[in-house]
Chains A and B, each alone.
Chain A
Amino acid sequence: MSNVVMQTRIRLARNLRKYPFPCRLSQAGKNEVVETIVSAIKNSNSPLANDFDVLYVKDLTEAQRISLVEAHLASPEFISDSAGRAIVLSKDREMSIMINEEDHIRLQILKKGFDLDGAYDVADKLDTLLDENLDFAYDEKLGYLTQCPTNLGTGMRASVMLHLPALQRSKAVSRIAGNLQKLGLTIRGTYGEGSEPQGAMYQLSNQVTLGISEQAAIDNLKNITAQLINQEENAQKRMADSIETQDRIARSLGILKSARLISRDEAMDLLSNVRFGINTGLIEDVEIQVIDKLISDIQPATMIVNKKENLTPSQRDQLRAEHIREVLR
């Protein structure tokens, strides 16, 4: 089983027929939408019904808001405004619903590894159960109606987070990206932008939502992802034979195990190298899940939220180094 895909996400955009879209909805209307959706979840026959938290953006600290983005539960757009916005989260954070982001509902299923069918299945069931209690804006010809026409139709964005250190290093990602676009997909850096995003982590997702069924869009994404996995695995194998790569990977693990201060940027690069090392068998005594957990733990706002106190950047770097040493010992 390949480790190239770190996580899978399905997002569905839905709106309530009765209310204008968020861009033309009053403050009172937005609050009503939040209450309507929350009570529909409570009364639904879904696994979410008895087991969720509702966070109102206005009640959250800056660090808490940003940590939601770092954990891929909310978008930067969602936290850019606090009025009438709330997020519903299952206890395990696999299911989440942003309320009044660009649409009334942005339902998300987040799964570890490569599991598009599994994630869609959960999203589809939850959506169907919510539909029983909420009247969604839907048109026979245009499908689910969304505030921005780019999401019309299925309203579905399926995406996989890929770790592509070898393709990035060999400058192949930008070449591939041009072709992906022709196939109705986009690829972007998960952390940071530009042609070499941090940690070599990329988000690959479908772009077209109208005129292509959920299943066809998922199959398309699955096929292309399988191709990318293949290319990345081959490139990794070739690179792993070189002494320069072996040296870089061994040093990366060495620094992580001994540093006393480490910035997020440096840690991301080194963890990415170690992940590459584990995947190619150059590192045998560290589990890849441990590295993936570290990647989410060391994000700055997430650290502040977990520590429950404000940290200066240098305190953060110290705490980050300590935490990594502890985990890798």
Chain B
Amino acid sequence: MKCQKCGKNNADTHIKRVVNGQFEEHHLCSECAAEMGYTNVFDSFSHSFADDFNSLFGSFFENALPARTQATRCETCGASYNDITRTGMMGCADCYKVFADQIMPTIRRIHGNTTHCGKNSPASKAQPAEKAPAQNTKSELDVLKEKLDSAIKNQEFEQAAELRDKIREMEGE
């Protein structure tokens, strides 16, 4: 689909929004989207994350994907890897297992790591692994977190960003 504003570039940004009592939908190229103020900093309330993910995904795997995996389908929902990159959406919970190898690098790029930390689904009987990081790792992490807190308090945002990267790296391992 071509961009609805310039009619030239491909539309890769799908915007759904409510403006002054009206529902609007726009398919725009990223340049026109940015011109209208939909940059990643001030993108609209409604700008779908899936679109960001989609372009992220596309560029990352453009040439790297072996032909074989494109034919694989998730048995549960029928999604192919191609479906996932095209829509930016996983088809079902099992897709995360079926396409794990392909999708992990993208997950790492989005979140900076690939390991959940936080609430467990109580029904999934999960509890044991909740708090078991090695003692020395933990204290080092705590020190970094304290530094991060004080950097934020002192509005040293640059330094805070660096600390945050380090913390993520450690937590992700």
Footprint of B on A, CB under 8 Å? 15, 17, 19-21, 23-24, 62-63, 65-66, 69-70, 75-77, 79-80, 102, 124, 127-128, 131-132, 134-154, 156, 174, 177-184, 186-190, 192-195, 197, 203, 208-216, 220, 223-224, 227, 264-265, 299-301, 304
Docked-complex contact A150 and B115, CB < 8 angstroms: no
Docked-complex contact B161 and A182, CB < 8 angstroms: yes
User: Per a CB cutoff under 8 Å, which of B43, B93, B115 touches A141?
Assistant: B115
Docked-complex contact B149 and A223, CB < 8 angstroms: yes
Q: List 5 A-B contacts (CB under 8 A).
A: A21-B93, A24-B77, A24-B78, A184-B164, A210-B113
Answer whether A212 and B118 are a contact pair too, CB < 8 Å, given A178-B41, A188-B43: yes
Most chain A CB neighbours (cut-off 10 Å) among B48, B115, B116, B122: B116
Q: A17-B93, A177-B41, A203-B45 are in contact. List 14 more A-B contacts (CB 8 A).
A: A20-B77, A65-B23, A66-B23, A69-B18, A70-B21, A102-B48, A137-B93, A138-B120, A153-B111, A174-B41, A190-B45, A208-B112, A210-B115, A223-B153
Answer whether A20 and B91 are a contact pair too, CB < 8 Å, given A77-B46, A193-B37: yes
How far is A131 from B121 in the complex, measured between Cα atoms in Å? 7
Q: Does B9 contact A (CB under 8 A)?
A: no
Residue in chain A with minimal CB distance to B17: A76
Docked-complex contact B117 and A145, CB < 8 angstroms: no
Pair count A-B, CB < 8 A: 225
Q: Which of B115-154 contact A (CB under 8 A)?
A: 115-124, 126, 129, 149, 152-153
Report chain A residues within 8 Å CB of B123: 131-132, 134-136
Docked-complex contact B161 and A142, CB < 8 angstroms: no
Residue in chain B with minimal CB distance to A69: B18
Q: Does B19 contact A (CB under 8 A)?
A: yes
User: Per a CB cutoff under 8 Å, which of B42, B53, B103, B164 touches A182?
Assistant: B164
Mask for B18-45, Cβ within 8 A of A = 1, else 0?
A: 1111110100000000001110111111
- B interface residues, tally (CB under 8 Å): 68
Minimum CB–CB distance for B112 against chain A, Å: 7
Docked-complex contact A24 and B91, CB < 8 angstroms: yes
Report chain B residues within 8 Å CB of A194: 36-37, 42
Report chain A residues within 8 Å CB of B161: 179, 182-183
User: Per a CB cutoff under 8 Å, which of B118, B160, B164 touches A154?
Assistant: B118
Minimum CB–CB distance for A140 against chain B, Å: 6
Residue in chain B with minimal CB distance to A190: B45
Answer whether A21 and B37 are a contact pair too, CB < 8 Å, given A65-B23, A179-B161, A211-B113: no
Q: Which of B145-171 contact A (CB under 8 A)?
A: 149, 152-153, 155, 157-158, 160-161, 164, 168, 171
Docked-complex contact A211 and B157, CB < 8 angstroms: no
Footprint of A on B, CB under 8 Å? 16-23, 25, 36-38, 40-46, 48-50, 52-53, 76-79, 87-93, 96, 103, 106-107, 110-124, 126, 129, 149, 152-153, 155, 157-158, 160-161, 164, 168, 171-172
How far is A145 from B161 in the complex, measured between Cα atoms in Å? 27
Report chain A residues within 8 Å CB of B17: 76, 193
Docked-complex contact A210 and B121, CB < 8 angstroms: no
How far is A180 from B129 in the complex, measured between Cα atoms in Å? 32
How far is A193 from B13 in the complex, measured between Cα atoms in Å? 15
Residue in chain A with minimal CB distance to B124: A138
Closest 5 CB pairs of A and B: A300-B21, A143-B116, A182-B161, A194-B37, A138-B121
User: Per a CB cutoff under 8 Å, which of B21, B41, B45, B92 touches A299?
Assistant: B21
User: Per a CB cutoff under 8 Å, which of B41, B158, B172 touches A211?
Assistant: B172
Docked-complex contact A179 and B158, CB < 8 angstroms: yes
Docked-complex contact A80 and B91, CB < 8 angstroms: no
Docked-complex contact A23 and B23, CB < 8 angstroms: no
Docked-complex contact A211 and B121, CB < 8 angstroms: no
Minimum CB–CB distance for B119 against chain A, Å: 6
Docked-complex contact B48 and A77, CB < 8 angstroms: yes
User: Per a CB cutoff under 8 Å, which of B53, B78, B118, B172 touches A213?
Assistant: B118
Residue in chain A with minimal CB distance to B25: A80
How far is A18 from B147 in the complex, measured between Cα atoms in Å? 43
Docked-complex contact B50 and A132, CB < 8 angstroms: no
Docked-complex contact A21 and B92, CB < 8 angstroms: yes
How far is A242 from B42 in the complex, measured between Cα atoms in Å? 30
Residue in chain A with minimal CB distance to B16: A76
Minimum CB–CB distance for B124 against chain A, Å: 5
Report chain B residues within 8 Å CB of A151: 49
Report chain B residues within 8 Å CB of A182: 157-158, 160-161, 164
Docked-complex contact A147 and B89, CB < 8 angstroms: yes
